[in-house]
Amino acid sequence: MALVETYPQAPAINGQAAKEPSPVDVALQIAASHTWNKNRPPEFLDSVHELIKKRTVQSPLAEAVNSWDGCLTYQELDELSDLLIGTLRRESIEAGTVVPLCFEKSKWTIVTILAVMKIGAAFLLLDPSHPAARLEYMIETVKANVVLCSPLYAQHEAFTELRRLIVDESTVNLANGHVGYQTYPKGDPRAALYIMFTSGTTGMPKGFTIEHRAFCSSALARASIIQRDEKSRVLQFAAFTFDPCMEDMLTTLMVGGCICIPNENQRINDLARCIRDLDANFLNVTPGVSDLLEPQDVPGLKILLLSGESMKERHIEKWSPHLQLINGYGPSECCIKCAVNPKMIPGTKPNNIGRPVGSSLWIINPSNLEDIMPIGAEGELLIEGPTLARGYLQQNATKSFAEAPSWLKVFRNDPTARIYKTGDLAIYREDGSIDFIGRRDTQAKINGQRIELGEIESLISKVTEQKYRAIVEVIPLKDEQQPMLIASIAHAEASSGIRPLEGKYVTRSTPDFAQLAEGLSQQLATWLPRYMIPSLFLQIRSIPLTIHGKTDRKLLRYELAELDRNSAICFTKAADKSVDVPLSSQEEVLLKLWSQVLKAGIPNGRKDLDFFQLGGNSFTAIRLVTAARQVDLHLTVADILQNPRLSDQAQVTASLKDETAAVPIQPFSLTGENLEGLLNAVAEQSSLNCSAVEDVYPCTPLQSYWVDYTLGHPGELQALWVYSVPTFVDISKLQRAWEKVVSGIPILRATVIKLSGRYLQVISNGKPVWEEWTSLQDFLKQRAPRDFRIGRPLTSSAVILDHASNQQYFALTSHHSAWDGWSKKIVLQRLGEFYIDTEFSAPKSTPLTHLLRQVQATNVDLHRNFWASQLSKVNLTPFFHKPANEPAKARSYNFNVSFSATGRIDSITLSTVVQAAWALVVHQESSSDAVLLTVLLSGREFPLPGVDEIIAPTVAQIPLRISIDRQDTVTTWLESIQRRLISTIPFMHADWDIFRSQLGNNVRQAWESSPLVVIHSVSERQVDDEALPLGLKQVERVFTHKIPFTVECYVGSETVKTDIFYDETVFSPIVVQALCRRFETFFQNILAAGNSTVHTTTATLYTEPASWWELSLTGSFAFRSDRRSDTGLVPPPSSGPRVKTVEFSLRAHGHPRQELTRLEGKLWVFYSEISSGVEAKLRVFYSEISSGVELYSTYSSYSS
């Protein structure tokens, strides 16, 4: 509908009909309503290098460049660029020419750009990774005959016909030897500043020119809004073909800031470390790149500007609490960004790109430039103002730049006004901000890079000699978020527009097409950059057409979106090709990592699988590098890009263990103590002779905490295991085998002392001292638990020849600081191996000292900032309150939870599901939307090569905060829990003696009264059950726990076996059983949740059987029936009164009636028995007994 049709007919004046307003008049009325566009954006007639010169004069010693290859002040940058000018002039580089530059990210890139600007020339930044043919086309287009480059790219095949001028330290020094201080002409604001190329529909990239005045007008208008100033330290992340790099470099210097330049390897493989090492506080990246970072890893980052692709709500939630999050929008042709939303906070629509900056934005009817759209109506975005490029260099690529529509010329009173048609659809809001909708043409974005799909389609047609036609789309496959670049190709002779009889256009590849597709990737790679090469080539029966004869992209997109990844792969060559050779172990590991980072199932493993064909891209390549590092494999992004096939990638993947044959750690070197004083302390605090001391080193943070706790709570955190020994086992030989085990494992020879306020472990070189008993009962009475003391060995051993039963036993007693489940399993395996083979040679293990060395090298401030970000600004409620001065009564409870093996949730570990289920239990008890679990990590996840081979406790105990948003889907919630736990791994060995006191009282109290959740694999429990060597059988296990509520879960493929250790002074047995039933319900509901919300998953917990109301009780009390449905509480029978008297008799385990009358305060008791003998599942809340008590369902949660 034309816009004028939306206006009412003009009223009559003096009896005559008023003249109908013209379309221009109507448009002008609407334009006037855009008050934010009333004034023409100001034009800054400046030159970039002259503004930088002003900053140099103001602050000559301020840091301008902080690069991996050196730092420069503003004065040094100015002088070096002046020195380079003489060399440029000798090469006939003059004002008005265009100079291609080909550099890695380096300080010399900045020096060269500034020199080219000063001489009056324009520069063209080239990406050396692009195909030579593409670079040659760009160089030919700008008519360049000389290229400035670093030594690394002097021999690039694209420059064989050009003069090459190498710029580095030696070149500039050579210039200094021949040329004095250089003068250069006054800058011309209308001169070309740089040339940039973007993807074009003709199969060739299209270039455009940005002038100094356009860049200055854009940058200066935007700088204050995004807070880019002299305090900014901007990480230069963007590739040189991506226009934000210009703002990173030029705008930063114009405002007096510092450009922070990482080397390429760090930029790609360890971005967070780059940001920290360079002390960057400003980052401009795409939302996809920001997904690779975690806020706690970049605590110094103050401003994050996301642009290049659409922001999502998850980015706002993740980043806005930690820094200023900005949304930026703008085509390269209009100087980087023409709209900015500087306050992306929770509640802001992620597609809101803010208000115009440095330009005016208009929204018009996509099919009629003269038809301006009113506020709230969708249309195409036009850009007007001084920030526009001159136009495209190629004469056939000018349709986006156009004369302004008639109404705009009148509105501005400027017949020469120009506009740029973005092709983007958007809507103006009442406040003048803009909601971005999407594209109206075949442009798309991959990883923030704008591409013309038509360029890829044209090239496919060209390289197939017009025999095939292609439709290229960027689309996510079914159930996936990450879009893929897919080429759907039909033979040119196929009948277009005819609906296939099979009903689908996509078909399985023929052998000829499979061969074509394999060659297409290689042929396109000679012209297109990697990100523009389709991940999948699918054969289609014909090109679908609309009734008007146009390509029906919408129909094909719909069909592609219905394909899941495995189905799509099945249509390609990779799935058709049969490869019978089994995968190597390295290939199997890599394939698992691929599945992990791609978050998708991988087809049956074949060596020729292609990472990018399966949906990989540069972002997932970075994730793969991280995932490989976590399993001790060394892989770089370059390795992945160059070797996308599984078999090739496995060959270039190295073991970190091979690379990190650790530097030997000298005995006593980790303590930092004087050796004589150290040995004196050992002699004073233990019975060891100095000659018997092999080494002394610190305890891990958790070892120290455990030792300190036990000294204050005698008997706690100690374990005793007693194993029956079959009669066919020679007990003396078993003792000798144990002595060999001990001689090879230092922690079994450890004693703890305290020196300079620290706990140290002393390793002796002596044999174990055996205790011998003749009665198992006497041993158990006198030996467990044993008082722990400084200077006493952490581990002791005993043999018991029980005369009464004629049985023999082997016993171990140990403090928890000497063992964990992982190492205990290895210890017992070695015992069997040494018994069977006296010549057995145990494999070398990683010393605990390697872990201690890495922990000692920890950045304390980084750990403090991380845990502060995890635990600050959250209101927590304690899970329990331990009665003061009441001795603990240790009890245990065991139960199993079964589940279907097919109920697993993709990418979510069962450990995460267990943690989530217990978090819901705590949530129901505390009524808090954020809960804390104390989680015991094995420490084998720690980023240290060989950590899985340490035979000593590597465990770490951390607080895991879990937020519960009942509107989240279960999968999203589980993913957030898993991400949070993974993010703690590098920080697991925090020294809580330092950090605990810095936590707020609320957090500290909640942590101290949180359940301890320990998760093992079933194989670890088997060590205690059926998998012991030599027929040993565990007959006694005593372990004293410190936490009043400890959960140990052994997770199997279809069962979670759970042991609960609790303090009966805090939890009665019936309370524990009720909590365990809750856990079971939550666990099974989560696995069955599908796309349900957390609210739906928990709501089913409260459903009670109808028979609950039919129990026959005796006695008398009142119970409330006015229960709110929103809490999930069970309502009373509809016919009953609001308060009903029920006859019952009270009978609780271990609590006689008379004790109830003394209950005071906010207490409750659970009852599982009543006179009928039926379990009632009732909670009795505190009240005056004489006037009755209130009964609630066990599955209710009340705080009063």
State CA 414 to chain mean position distance.
51
Q: Report how far residue 1024's alpha carbon sits from residue 1035's, in angstroms, rounded to the nearest whole number.
A: 9
| Strand pairing class (360-365; 368-372) | antiparallel
Return the closest-CA partner of residue 1104 out of 1175, 1056, 1198: 1175
3-state secondary structure of 291: coil
Q: How many CA atoms lie within 13 A of 31 on its CB side?
A: 26
721 lies in the same domain as 835: yes
Q: What is the pLDDT of residue 516?
A: 84
Return the closest-CA partner of residue 471 out of 366, 572, 560: 560
Phi, psi of 67 (to 5 degrees): -120, 160
Q: What angle do CA 774, 779, 781 make, to 5 degrees?
A: 140
| CA-to-CA separations, 326 to 295, 316, 345, in angstroms, rounded | 15, 9, 9
400 lies in the same domain as 524: no
- What is the secondary structure of 1109-1178 as a DSSP string? GG----S-EEEE----GGGTPPPPPTTS-SEEEE----BBTTB-HHHHTT--SS-EEEE-B-TT-----E
Q: What is the pLDDT of residue 546?
A: 67
pLDDT digits (tens, 9 = 90+) for 803-849: 888 999 999 999 989 988 778 888 998 999 999 988 888 888 889 99
Asked if 632 and 945 count as a contact pair (C-beta separation under 8 A), the reply is yes
Helices and strands in the chain, H and E counts: 39, 50
Does 286 map to a domain? yes
Cα torsion at 908, 912, 916, 922 (round to 10°)? 180
Q: Could you list the residue range(s) of the whole structural domain that residue 595 is in?
A: 585-659
Domain final residue, candidates 634, 659, 684: 659
Q: What is the pLDDT of residue 930?
A: 87
Does 98 map to a domain? yes
Sign of the torsion formed by the C-alpha atoms of 903, 909, 911 and 912: negative
696 lies in the same domain as 724: yes
Residues β-bridged to residue 898: 1055
Return the closest-CA partner of residue 267 out of 300, 245, 296: 245
CATH number for position 830? 3.30.559.10
451 lies in the same domain as 466: yes
Q: Report how far residue 230's alpha carbon sits from residue 55's, in angstroms, rounded to the nearest whole number.
A: 9
Spell out, as residue ranges, where the chain has pLDDT lower than 50: 1-19, 174-175, 177-180, 573-580, 657-661, 1019, 1022-1026, 1100-1200
Asked if 550 and 499 count as a contact pair (C-beta separation under 8 A), the reply is no
pLDDT digits (tens, 9 = 90+) for 463-500: 888 888 888 888 877 766 667 888 999 887 765 555 55
Q: Report how far residue 752's alpha carbon sits from residue 762's, in angstroms, rounded to the nearest whole number.
A: 6
Radius of gyration of the chain (CA): 36
Return the closest-CA partner of residue 213 out of 344, 385, 21: 385
Does 133 map to a domain? yes
Q: Phi-psi region for residue 976, left (φ > 0), alpha (ψ -120 to 50) or beta?
A: alpha
Q: How many CA atoms lie within 13 A of 623 on its CB side?
A: 20
CATH number for position 363? 2.30.38.10
Tokens of 712: 């204050």
152 lies in the same domain as 246: yes
**Axis-axis angle for helices 910-926, 970-983 (nearest 10):** 100
Return the closest-CA partner of residue 138 out of 199, 210, 215: 199
Q: What is the pLDDT of residue 255?
A: 96
pLDDT digits (tens, 9 = 90+) for 1025-1084: 445 788 888 888 777 766 689 999 888 767 888 989 888 888 888 788 888 988 988 898
Does 849 map to a domain? no
645 lies in the same domain as 682: no
* Own/partner pairs, 1154-1157, CB within 8 angstroms, 24+ separation: 1156/1185, 1157/1185
CATH number for position 893? 3.30.559.30
Asked if 107 and 65 count as a contact pair (C-beta separation under 8 A), the reply is yes
Residues β-bridged to residue 722: 811, 1036
Domain final residue, candidates 410, 441, 472: 441
CATH number for position 624? 1.10.1200.10
Amino acid at 572: T
SS (H, E, C) 934-972: EEEECCCCCCCCCHHHCCCCCCEEEEEEEECCCCCEHHH
Residues β-bridged to residue 455: none
Domain count, the chain: 7
Domain final residue, candidates 597, 631, 659: 659
Look up the pTM and report it: 0.49
Does 666 map to a domain? no
Return the closest-CA partner of residue 975 out of 913, 1049, 900, 1052: 913
Q: What is the pLDDT of residue 1143?
A: 32
Does 312 map to a domain? yes
Number of residues that make up the chain? 1200
435 lies in the same domain as 447: no
527 lies in the same domain as 468: yes
Is the link from the previous residue into 785 a cis peptide, with omega within 30 of 0? yes
Q: Report how far residue 801's alpha carbon sits from residue 823's, in angstroms, rounded to the nearest whole number.
A: 27
934 lies in the same domain as 838: no
Does 135 map to a domain? yes
Return the closest-CA partner of residue 389 out of 379, 402, 380: 402
Return the closest-CA partner of residue 385 out of 220, 229, 251: 220
Please name the residues in contact with 98: beta carbons below 8 A apart, sequence gap of 6 or more. 121, 122, 123, 124, 142, 143, 144, 192, 195
162 lies in the same domain as 221: yes
102 lies in the same domain as 157: yes
756 lies in the same domain as 639: no
CATH number for position 488? 3.30.300.30
Give the H or E element holding residue 1063. strand 1055-1063
Q: What is the pLDDT of residue 1193?
A: 31
Please name the residues in contact with 180: beta carbons below 8 A apart, sequence gap of 6 or more. none
Does 15 map to a domain? no
